[in-house]
Amino acid sequence: MTMKKTLLLLLLPASLLQVAYAQKSPKKTTSGNPIAEGWYADPEATIFGKEYWVYPTYSDKYDKQVHFDAFSSPDLVNWTKHENVLDSSNVKWAKRAMWAPAIVKKDNKYYFFFGANDIQSDKAYGGIGIAVADKPEGPFKDYLGKPLIDKFYNGAQPIDQFVFKDTDGQYYIIYGGWGHCNIAKLKKNFTGIEPAAGGKAFKEITPEGYVEGPVMFIRKGKYYFMWSEGGWTGPDYRVAYAIGNSINGPFKKIGTILQQDAAIATGAGHHSVIKVPGKDEWYIVYHRRPLTETDGNHRVTCIDKMTFDKDGLINPVKITNEGVTANKLK
């Protein structure tokens, strides 16, 4: 740049100077990984209207995990942060460790499921709760005034819930830590669990290797069940899956599809899945730990493509620094 041009820029008003530099900024062509600044884990990804949404855990010490932020995008590349969509001031019984949200839209309301307090036994108070709002960005407020699930059924810690709507319209909650996974029917108004035949409302569907973080979706009539394995603070954290003919399985492990790449990041796991409406296009949204980090809470939220082979098996996911290109919803 010549001295004359430099002096001219210095004389420009600040607003015009910003425009001058903005015009030289390269246009963003991929999401990049992570998709947002800050420590975020356990992302729940979904679509509302013409926007993609991601709701992660705020990844910090348990006593500081008392709020949730959310992120929205029209195209998977440009993300907007929505701060404090829910915090413990709106959930009086939640004191710490608010984790791993799940969200669904039903009857023009948005229901936000979350784990809280990291209970270690039935004597502690906490578990899986629900908050509700009129908009996807909240603000969300406690729906029940108490946990929806507050006990250990079949050995499953009440955390890491996933809410699934089956083809008949019935909503299910699939959840569990400590190596056990349960499934149960939700009441129509989400005020409780529907009693099952024989009085046992919680059915265990734990596959081999399951640790936590269940996810389910349907593709071409088959039920894909996914989960996280390994230790969440270690490099062996990963995602495995099974395929069944019904929501209750049985689910036999097929293999691992998401794991660390020693050249990019470690501890890739606890994910969710997005399907583009009307297309056989899929994305996996997950967290991982940057190579520079050793703190267990230093996790970031990322996105990459997820594909299938000709037999319907999930291809191993390649984790990238670039992320994905734009895919605007119609």
Residue 214: closest CA among 196, 240, 192: 240
Residues 290-319: tens digit of each pLDDT:
999 999 999 999 999 999 999 999 999 999
Helices vs strands, H then E, count in the chain = 2, 19
Q: Is the pLDDT of residue 17 over 60?
A: no
Residues 50-109: tens digit of each pLDDT:
999 999 999 999 999 999 999 999 999 999 999 999 999 999 999 999 999 999 999 999
pTM here? 0.91
Please give the pLDDT value at position 174.
98
Please give the pLDDT value at position 18.
47
Banded model confidence at residue 44, pLDDT cuts 50, 70, 90: very high
Please give the pLDDT value at position 139.
97
* Domain boundaries defined on the chain: 35-306
Residues 236-246: tens digit of each pLDDT:
999 999 999 99
Please give the pLDDT value at position 198.
73
The partner residues of 45 in beta bridges, in order of sequence, read 54
Helix (H) or strand (E) run with residue 288 in it: strand 282-290
CB 291 within 8 A of CB 264: yes
- CA 40 to chain centroid: 10
Residue among 44, 212, 229, 304 flagged as catalytic: 212
Give the fold, CATH level 3, of 35-306: Tachylectin-2; Chain A (2.115.10)
Residues 6+ apart with CB under 8 A from 71: 35, 36, 53, 54, 55, 56, 79, 80, 81, 82, 301
Please give the pLDDT value at position 196.
78
Residues 216-226: tens digit of each pLDDT:
999 999 999 99
Structure tokens belonging to residue 177: 């830590």
Is-catalytic flag, 168? no
Return the percentage of the chain with pLDDT > 90, whole number: 89
Q: Does 274 or 17 have the greater pLDDT score?
A: 274
Is-catalytic flag, 212? yes
The CA angle 8-9-15, to the nearest 5 degrees, is 130
Least confidently predicted of 10-14, 45-49, 151-155, 245-249:
10-14
The conformation of residue 323, written as its DSSP 8-state character, comes to: -
Residue among 42, 69, 160, 304 flagged as catalytic: 42
Length of the chain: 330
